Amino acid sequence: MFATAHNQRFYTVEVTDKQNTILFLLKHMTVKEISATVKLDNILPCELSNKRLHIRKMINLFYGKNYDQVTIDFIISTIRDQQELEQELVCDMNINEIVDKYRDSITIDDATDINLINLLPFTTTCIQCKRVLKTEKDKNVTLMCLGTIKTCTIFKSNCNVCKIDYYPTYFENKIMKYKYLSATAIKNNHYLYFGGQSAFHHDLLVTFSSDLIFSHVPFNSFCESYDYIIETINRHNSNQYIPTTYQQQKLDPKLFQNTWLVFEMARFYFMMCDNEFFQIPASYEGPERDNFLRQYNEKFYSLFTGTKNLTEKSANMTMCVTFQSLS
């Protein structure tokens, strides 16, 4: 041990290679900052352009530092190269605060590019020509969840040869003007996106199904109830104060009705057959919607009556879907 002129003590100790790397990393950043940097790198998709730049700006804004890009890249690449370091250095921390502060920043232009929820296409390989496709950001949309409204980022892949766009829940043939919902996405995804400016949490759609079957709640009442819940929770969370300029986003009954119908029809279709895709019109409103429902009504009814292995609950559900489809 020896002391410097500033009375800071230095020690000479024997360390392993791993400990040496950790000490080297700690010369650049604190453990908290390293942890947050690596977690942000894990959560944000590589398909997001300028991902590392956003991470640098988020860390600097949140911790009041001025790290350069080289330091951020060095920390991430060192931990990526030595995976066991992640267990030593990355703490179980909630990074929502970091992202929220960044998104609220008025001094950073592209801060709203960042969302904690990023919905990637259900495939990165064209199902027709089998080419591996490049994925890129499409847009930010409103995400309707139970008790809360968030934003999320939609990514898409495009096959120029087959003229097909791939999204998180479906693909769209740009020439034929049809969408094809993916069975895997409908069955597994927590968030469902059928196009437009809104995505929906699976639990919200299922909650309506339950309310419809057991409480006979119509769409308008469900949407009014949802808006009331969101407003009350927001008021409670903001200590009773809601700025006069605040405009709460509402759950549009028509949009919700169309989304829910597509969701339940797809669930019904995939429950009844082994097909991987379910075709719906590219534009699901007005006469196109009615024509589609008319066309599928008979098909659904024959699927329904021709199946013996339905549970009572799913039979109720499918009857509801069939009757709603007729209305």
Give how many residues touch Zn ion by CB under 5 A: 6
Candidates 30-38, 124-132, 194-202, 203-211: pick the segment binding Zn ion (CB under 5 A): 124-132
- Regarding 133 and contact with Zn ion (CB under 5 A), the answer is no
Min CB(131)–Zn ion separation in Å = 5
Q: Exposed, middle or buried: residue 1 (CB in 10 Å: 0-12, 13-18, 19+)?
A: exposed
Candidates 79-87, 90-98, 160-168, 174-182: pick the segment binding Zn ion (CB under 5 A): 160-168
> Contacting Zn ion (CB under 5 A), which of 42, 69, 77, 128?
128
Token readout for 258 is: 């169309």
Site string for Zn ion, 84-123 (x = CB under 5 A): ----------------------------------------
Using an 8 Å Cβ cutoff, are 161 and 131 in contact?
Answer: yes
> Contacting Zn ion (CB under 5 A), which of 15, 23, 93, 129?
129
Using an 8 Å Cβ cutoff, are 313 and 206 in contact?
Answer: no
Using an 8 Å Cβ cutoff, are 318 and 305 in contact?
Answer: no
Type of residue at 105 = S
Using an 8 Å Cβ cutoff, are 293 and 326 in contact?
Answer: yes
Report the C-alpha gap between 214 and 37 in whole angstroms: 47
Min CB(187)–Zn ion separation in Å = 24
Site string for Zn ion, 220-259 (x = CB under 5 A): ----------------------------------------
Query: Please, which residues have CB within 8 angstroms of residue 130's CB and are 6 or more apart in sequence?
Result: none
Which of 41/138 has CB closer to Zn ion? 138
3-state SS assignment for residue 93 = coil
Which of 57/179 has CB closer to Zn ion? 179
- Regarding 159 and contact with Zn ion (CB under 5 A), the answer is yes
CA dihedral of residues 49, 22, 82, 68 (deg, nearest 10): 20
Which of 145/159 has CB closer to Zn ion? 159
Sign, CA dihedral 14-16-19-20, equals positive
Using an 8 Å Cβ cutoff, are 28 and 37 in contact?
Answer: no
> Contacting Zn ion (CB under 5 A), which of 162, 217, 229, 310?
162
- Regarding 126 and contact with Zn ion (CB under 5 A), the answer is yes
Min CB(195)–Zn ion separation in Å = 20
Candidates 126-134, 149-157, 210-218, 259-267: pick the segment binding Zn ion (CB under 5 A): 126-134
- Buried b / exposed e along 69-101 (16+ C-beta atoms within 10 A): eebbebbbebbeeeeebeeebbeeeebeebbee
- Regarding 26 and contact with Zn ion (CB under 5 A), the answer is no
Min CB(231)–Zn ion separation in Å = 46
3-state SS assignment for residue 48 = coil
Min CB(275)–Zn ion separation in Å = 20
Which of 6/130 has CB closer to Zn ion? 130
Report the C-alpha gap between 311 and 296 in whole angstroms: 22
Which of 29/159 has CB closer to Zn ion? 159
Which of 171/269 has CB closer to Zn ion? 171
Report the C-alpha gap between 246 and 266 in whole angstroms: 36
Min CB(130)–Zn ion separation in Å = 7
- Regarding 29 and contact with Zn ion (CB under 5 A), the answer is no
- Regarding 326 and contact with Zn ion (CB under 5 A), the answer is no
Residue numbers at the binding site for Zn ion (CB under 5 A):
126, 128-129, 159, 161-162
